[in-house]
């Protein structure tokens, strides 16, 4: 998604981003590995990956405009930015050890989720890993998400994703569901401040501390993290 505020990747990660790289992604899947980020946004994951020893990092998004901020702020020669989509990945088969995709699958065209999994499997090496996050399908997370009606922002159950994964030649490795009301309130703050007032979050430090607290709790209903391994 285009970075309408032209914000650089944050130096300090909070909430979902901090949990993603601090708890969910095994550093062994990045350090010394070739990694693809599908839907890289403004480059926060690329900055982290270069700091933990990625050997080669590819990052795609759907237009050059979507890549402008990441290209400006992530200049490490190990990172390559390229226009591409989750259902048409512009790399040859068997290119990567690890593929990640954070908050992307809910934005691709409806009913193309199997195509995304098939494309990820194609570009992974044998035994490679695919990690993603997406809104979790729970009645509260759906009710609290204003974009469900506005932009068809979809929510997924782990059962649905694991079935697609198995159908496309993946074995489920594990999953976590995190956060609840506090993360939802932070997202409302973000949507209103960004899309209505064209500014950063209101009460930003307090809002980020709330999501940090929410992610420190053991269970939630709002965000689903899923990990798959390519069979064969």
Question: Would you tell me how many other CB atoms lie within 10 Å of the CB of residue 11?
Answer: 7
Please check whether residue 37 is in contact with residue 101, taking contact to mean a CB–CB distance below 8 angstroms.
yes
Residues 209, 186: Cα–Cα separation, whole Å: 10
DSSP state of 106: G
pLDDT along the chain (232 residues), means of 10: 72 96 97 98 97 98 95 97 98 98 97 98 98 97 88 93 98 97 92 88 94 95 98 84
The full set of domain ranges for the chain reads 15-230
> What pLDDT, on the 0 to 100 scale, is given for residue 2?
55
Place of tokens 């390229």: 82
Q: DSSP strand E in the chain: where?
A: 34-38, 56-61, 79-83, 96-102, 124-135, 170-178, 223-230
Write phi, then psi, for 96 (nearest 5 degrees): -135, 150
Residues 81, 32: Cα–Cα separation, whole Å: 19
pTM attached to this predicted model: 0.95
CATH superfamily name and code, 15-230 = Vaccinia Virus protein VP39 (3.40.50.150)
Residues 191, 26: Cα–Cα separation, whole Å: 30
> What pLDDT, on the 0 to 100 scale, is given for residue 39?
98
């Amino acid at each position: 998604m285009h970075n309408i505020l032209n914000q650089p990747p944050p130096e300090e990660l909070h909430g979902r981003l901090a949990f993603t790289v601090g708890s969910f992604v095994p550093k062994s899947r990045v350090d010394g590995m070739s990694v693809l980020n599908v839907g890289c946004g403004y480059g926060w994951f690329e900055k982290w990956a270069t700091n933990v020893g990625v050997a080669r990092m590819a990052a795609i998004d759907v237009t050059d405009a979507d890549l402008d901020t990441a290209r400006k702020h992530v200049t490490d020669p190990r990172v390559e930015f390229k226009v591409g989509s989750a259902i048409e990945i512009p790399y040859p088969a068997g290119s990567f050890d690890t593929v990640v995709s954070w908050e992307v699958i809910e934005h691709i065209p409806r009913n193309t989720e199997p195509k995304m999994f098939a494309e990820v499997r194609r570009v992974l090496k044998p035994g490679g890993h695919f990690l993603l996050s997406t809104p979790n399908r729970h009645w509260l997370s759906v009710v609290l998400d204003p974009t469900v009606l506005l932009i068809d922002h979809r929510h997924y159950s782990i059962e649905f994703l694991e079935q697609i994964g198995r159908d496309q030649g993946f074995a489920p490795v594990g999953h976590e569901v995190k956060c609840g009301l506090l993360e939802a309130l932070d997202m409302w703050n973000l949507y209103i401040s960004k899309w209505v007032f064209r500014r950063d979050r209101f009460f930003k430090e307090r809002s980020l501390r709330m999501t940090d607290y929410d992610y420190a709790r053991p269970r939630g209903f709002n965000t689903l993290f899923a990990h798959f391994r390519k069979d064969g």
